[in-house]
Structure 1
Amino acid sequence: MSSPNEHSPTIEAVILAGGMARRMGGEDKGLVELNNQPMISHTINRLAPQVQRIMINANRNQQRYSEFGYQVMSDIDSGYLGPLAGMITAMGHTQAELLLVVPCDCPLLPHDLASRMLATMQQTGAELVVASDGKREQPVVLLLKPSLRDSMKAFLDAGERKIDFWYAKHHYEVTSFADQPNAFINVNTPEQKQQLADQIAQ
């Protein structure tokens, strides 16, 4: 249980939309239409009530992304270095105590994502918390302290890319969302997109 004097820290979020999406034929995944809305719109709708502010990390189509009404930022390091580069950029743009990281192609994110991950962090004293669907960790669904930026940047600058190798260097905990096993279904192929569209429409 939280202690009575434990305040609710400010939480901002970054939606990672910076990838190449090779398996989607190079389409910008956040802008792919899903049930008549860009994919990122579904993600924003899930996330907006849970955080103080949303940022979008995008390395192309920045003008389109800015139309959603949120700050858009591209990676400080150019060259499509993966999700770590987007997280490092966002950590440099937030004044919040905590940063929630999610990908742009998870339209079924839990409505209680932030609160449950925060509870795990407060109960364990972890530096970062990783979400799990009950079977596997979701390495780009994270709640972390922006003070970890220097550590993450050093890891990326050393040529490393695998985010789970990075968080294993820190005190991390896992929040299970096994009660919502479809929460982190994402879209990498046109077939998966159709399956998800059918599911949302039900």
Structure 2
Amino acid sequence: MQQPLGVILAGGLATRMGGGDKGLLPLGGGTLLSHVMDRLEPQVAGLALNANGDAERFAALGLPVLPDPVEGFVGPLAGVLAGLDWAAAQGAEAVVSVAADTPFFPCDLVPRLMLAAEGMEHPLVLARTPDGRQPTFGLWPTALRDDLRAALEGGLRKVVMWTDGHGGREAMFNAPGAPFFNVNTPEDLAHAQALVEAAT
């Protein structure tokens, strides 16, 4: 299987942070998004950002900005679909999605998702921890993008309902700490800052 492309999901409304672009909040010497980019970029063949609204606010990142192809802020699957359409236009077989507010995800996320997908006709794998599935961290096949589009247009919103319906697998991550800790509140951001400072 060829190296997948990567898409960072930043299309949500960030209501618990008071709105705005959560990924542009400062963290360490950069932003939440810059930490996510630094983790994902070495693992994929190319990178894009799923975000809605004026793309110019992300111009400094130098990434393609992909709006949701389904209107109405219907959730992370719309961002996955945006990534799949972008990847398919480049002849890619799959994309890996990550959340823009989760700066400490595993540095071996992509190879472990790919390992779990071995032998699948259409590589479809979600990350899992002992606490449950991580539905915004997954490996998705471009071959199923039209099926996903039809499901979204038909009202489907739950990630796992779609992945389970297509025989999706899981890749288990048992790393100590909370590698999929995500920043939802100002308190979470302060905790993330403390983690960054402790690691430097």
User: How far off its partner does 1:38 sit?
Assistant: 1.5
Do the aligned partners of 1:75 and 1:86 also contact (CA within 8 Å) in 2? yes
Tell me whether 1:110 sits opposite 2:103 in the alignment. Answer: no
2-side partners of 1:66 and 1:14: how far apart?
A: 16
Do the aligned partners of 1:135 and 1:178 also contact (CA within 8 Å) in 2? no
**Equivalent position of 1:97 in the other structure:** 93
2-side partners of 1:90 and 1:54: how far apart?
A: 9
Q: Which runs of 5+ in 2 are unaligned?
A: none
Which of 37, 59, 69 aligns to 2:62? It is: 69
2-side partners of 1:126 and 1:58: how far apart?
A: 26
Runs of 4+ aligned residues of structure 1 deviating over 3 Å after TM superposition are 123-127
Which of 19, 32, 42 aligns to 2:25? It is: 32
> Number of residue pairs matched?
195
Normalised by the length of structure 2, the TM-score is 0.92
Which of 185, 191, 196 aligns to 1:189? It is: 185
Which of 118, 121, 124 aligns to 1:122? It is: 118
Do the aligned partners of 1:106 and 1:187 also contact (CA within 8 Å) in 2? yes
What's the CA shift string for 1:145-175, capped at 9, x where partnerless? 1111111111111112111111110111111
2-side partners of 1:126 and 1:178: how far apart?
A: 25
SS state at 2:110 partner: helix
1-side partners of 2:172 and 2:54: how far apart?
A: 34
Q: Which runs of 5+ in 1 are unaligned?
A: 1-7
1-side partners of 2:159 and 2:65: how far apart?
A: 22
**Equivalent position of 1:50 in the other structure:** 43
Which of 145, 167, 172 aligns to 1:149? It is: 145
Which of 78, 81, 89 aligns to 1:85? It is: 78
Normalised by the length of structure 1, the TM-score is 0.91
User: How far off its partner does 1:183 sit?
Assistant: 1.3
One-letter amino acid of the structure 2 residue matched with residue 135 of structure 1: D
User: How far off its partner does 1:134 sit?
Assistant: 2.5
One-letter amino acid of the structure 1 residue matched with residue 127 of structure 2: A
SS state at 2:61 partner: coil
Percent of aligned pairs with the same residue? Answer: 35
Which of 10, 13, 25 aligns to 2:6? It is: 13
